[in-house]
Structure 1
Amino acid sequence: MATEKIAIHTEYIPLGQFLKLANVIDTGGMVKIFLSEYSVFINGEQDQRRGRKLYVDDVIEIEDIGAFQIVKEQNN
């Protein structure tokens, strides 16, 4: 399975915001429920904290959803 690249323009992004940016969930209100139902692994370690800071090069794997990598947004 291919790893989808998700670009951010800030130093980090909280896990809850990342889930919206990656189109995994539709609204911020869904974060708590989503994290209680799906296992999320960040760089191979399970972490369900919606405020967990994700940085460039972090890899996020979500069971039954897929894998994502945080990349730095390129300025054109």
Structure 2
Amino acid sequence: MSHSQKPSIGRIVHVPMPPAANNGSDTAAAIVTRVDEDEETINVRIFADSTASPQEWRTSLTHADELAYDPDDTTSLYRWTWPPRA
């Protein structure tokens, strides 16, 4: 794992989102719902900025230092990162 923090259930992370499903933003907040034993992959519930879609659930996300939503690469949706410090 390339980051010093460890994911745990209930922590907030950022995930890539299609902007059309997230009020124009390509990043959404998500809450960790499961951490695999190896601490390399997590499951999340996504909180998109939209009333049109229900809270999405994604599984087996891996950590990335930076997120980049790519509409031509569905694997880009299965990454997560820590929110930047303000």
Structure whose CA Rg is larger? 2
Same fold (TM over 0.5): no
More helix by share: 1
Greater relative contact order: 1 or 2 (C-alpha under 8 angstroms, separation 6 or more)? Answer: 1
Normalising by the residue count of structure 2, what TM-score does the alignment of the two structures yield?
A: 0.27
Normalising by the residue count of structure 1, what TM-score does the alignment of the two structures yield?
A: 0.29
